[in-house]
Amino acid sequence: VFKGRMSDMRAVEDWGCTVSVFERGLAEPLSCSGTLLDSRSGIVLCHSLVFSAFLNKSINISDYRVLFPDSFSSRLHVYVQRPEELKSVDNTKQQSHVMRQCLGKAKQTVSKPSPQKAELLMLVSNPQFQKAFTRLFNKPDEWRFCSNTGDIDLDDLKKDTEFLSWFAVLKVPGLLGRGQRALPWVSSSSLKKGDVVFACGSPFGSFCPDLFMNTLSKGIVSNVAGESRALILTDARCLPGTEGGGLFLDKGGRFCLAGLIVSPLCWRAGEWIGLTLVCSLESVVRNIWFVNKGDPCLNWILSDTPSHFVQDLPVTGEAKSVRQHPTVALVQSGELWGSGVLMNSRMMLTCRHVVNGASRVVVKINNKERLLTAVGNVVYSTKDSSPYDVAVVLLAEPLPSTTVPAVARDFRAGRVDVYVTGYGVFGQSCGPSVTSGILSRIIACDFQPAMLQTTCAVQAGASGGAVIRAATGELLGLVSSNTRDCAAGVTYSHLNFSVPVTVLSPLLRQYALTGDSGVFEELDRASDAVRAAWRLQGSHGLIPRSKL
C-alpha cells in the first residue's frame, strides 16, 4: 500500500512542467509553471501573466473573452519543459542551438536538456474568477501579489495587465504520442474546507529546473468563493514561479486536479498572509468550452462529461473535524472586526482588543449560506495590563445551529495536527477561513499551560478565532495574535499565540453556576511568569528586551 501511494505521488509530479516565454533578442525569458492535461494531445495549461508583456499595444483585453496568437508579438517563442526532458539528453545539442539562436546568446552550455517548442493556441478569460477576485480584494487593504515576474499590486493588475484571471492553452507537438493518459480532475463543488490538497509547481519557473521543477507542497482548502467556487484559497505554501501549477485532491487514493495556482498571496498592508490563490480547473474548462467548441485538440476538455472527470469517489484525508468545529463568529466593534468562538448559543469568547473597549458588539455567523446577526453585550474584558487578551460576550438572543465545542483537557506539542479557523483575510465576504499546522510549543507557567504556539497561518481578523485539534475537533485555545518583528517591520503569520482553553474553562463553569462576571478577574491576577511569557520576554533577568 505504501509503495502504491508513493507511485501516485510520483504521478502527480509527472503532470507538472515549466513554461518559458520570450521574444527574439530578449535577454532572459519570462517563465512560470504549467500543467499537462493530456499526454495524448500534448495540451498544457498555464497562467497568462507571463504573456502580458508580449500583447500587441492595440489590444484592450477587457473587450475580449479569448485571445489568439495574432494578438501577440510575431516574434513570440514558447517552450515547455517536463521532468522526463531532465532525464534525457538525446536532442540536447540541436535544441540548445535553437535556444541559443532565439535568445541571441554567443555561448550556450549543452549539458542541460532544453525545453520542447510549444504552440500557443489561445488565452481564455475567467469572468467568474475575476468577479470573485474583485469582490474580495480591494485597494484600501493594500494588497500585493507575488509572481515570477515581480511583485504586483492591485493597480498593476487593473491598469497595466488585467491578466490575473486569464489562462493560456498550449500544445506541445514534441509530447505527442508519449502516453495515452488524460489527467483526472474534480469539480470544485466537491471541495470542502479542510480537505487535504497538494500543490505541484516549480519555484522560480524555469530557473534551475533540475533542482526546483515540480516541487510539492501540502496544505488544506482554506476557503472557496465565487460562482461555482471559482476562487480557492489554500495554505499549501507556494513560491513565485509556481503560477500555473496544479492543486491536487486525493479522491479515493487517486490524485485529481482541482485547480491552477494563480499567485502566492504576498502582503496585505505590510502583513505576510501565508496563503495561495487558486482558480478552479472546472471554471477554466467551462470557459474554454464556451469560447471554442470546434478544435479537435481540445475535444477531451470540451466534452460535457469527459471520461476522466472524477466526482463520486470519496475524498481521502478530508477533515471531518472542520465540519464539526466550534461555531466561529465575526465580531464587529465600530469599524474594527475580529473573530469569536461561541461556547453555546448565547455565550462567546473573543479578544479584548477585538471589542476595543466597547460595551456592545455586533456578532455575525454564516449559517447555510445565510448571514445571521445578533447584538452582544460585553460581560467582561480583561484589563490592558492583563497578559490574557480575553473578552466574554453574552448575546441578547441565542443564535441557532450553534455547535457547542468539545473542550480539550490536555495538549501535546509537535504530534498534534491543528486547525485555526477565523475571519482573517476577507472578513465576512466568504465566511471563516481555515489554516492547518501543528501545535509547535506549549509554554507552561506554574506547572500549567499559559500559552500555545501553532504553525497555522494567522492573519489580522483571526484574533478571537479557534484553535482546534484536527483529529477530533476539540477546542484547544483562543487565538490572540501572530508575531511582529518591530525592528524589521515584518509580521510572521506562521508564528502565533493562543490562550489555552484550560485557562478559561474553570472560569466559564463558575460563571455558568453563579452568573457573577467577577470570576474572570482571575485572568487579571496572572503571575509574573505568565506576564513575562505573554510579553515574549522570557523569565531570565539578563535577557534583553524582546523586539517582538
* Of 263, 203, 200, nearest in space to 233 by CA: 263
Q: Is residue 256 within 8 Å of residue 186, measured between CB atoms?
A: yes
- Catalytic residue (choose from 47, 325, 353, 494): 353
For residues 326 and 365, what is the distance between their CA atoms, to the nearest angstrom? 12
Q: What is the SS3 assignment for 462? A: coil
Residue 198: partners with Cβ closer than 8 Å, 6 or more residues away = 9, 12, 216, 217, 218, 236, 247, 248, 250, 255
What ranges in 292-427 are assigned the alpha helix state H? 299-302, 320-323, 352-355
Question: Can you tell me the distance from the alpha carbon of 244 to that of 526, in angstroms, rounded to the nearest whole number?
Answer: 51
Contact 97, 118 (CB under 8 A): no
Q: Where are the beta strands (DSSP E) in 176-298?
A: 196-201, 215-225, 231-234, 246-251, 254-268, 271-272, 276-280
Catalytically annotated residue among 147, 187, 389, 481: 389
Q: At what angle do helices 281-291 and 127-136 cross, to 10 degrees?
A: 130
Q: Choose, from 71, 222, 339, 463, the residue flagged as catalytic.
A: 463
Mark whether 463 is an active-site residue.
yes
Bridge partners of 168, per DSSP, are 46, 123
For residue 472, what is the DSSP state?
A: T
Decide: 81 and 206 in contact? Cβ < 8 Å: yes
Q: How far is CA 499 from the centre of its chain?
A: 25
Residue with cell 484600501: 140
**Residue closest to 130 by CA, chosen among 231, 60, 255:** 231
204: its cell numbers = 522560480
Of all residues in the chain, what percent are helix, strand and coil, respectively (each to 5)? Answer: 25, 35, 40
- Integer Cα distance of 44 and 19 in angstroms: 9
User: The C-alpha cell of 247 is what?
Assistant: 492543486
Cell of residue 221, nine digits: 482548502
Q: C-alpha distances in angstroms, 210 versus 11, 88, 225?
A: 17, 12, 36
Q: Which three cell numbers stand for residue 115?
A: 525545453
Cell numbers found for residue 326: 466550534
Q: How many residues does the chain have?
A: 548
* Nearest-angstrom CA–CA distance, 119 and 77: 8
Helix (H, G, I), strand (E, B) or coil at 23: strand
Q: What is the CA radius of gyration of the chain?
A: 26
Rounded CA separation 500/121 (Å): 55
| Residue 35: Cβ within 10 Å count | 27
Report the C-alpha gap between 182 and 278 in whole angstroms: 21
Active site residues: 353, 389, 463
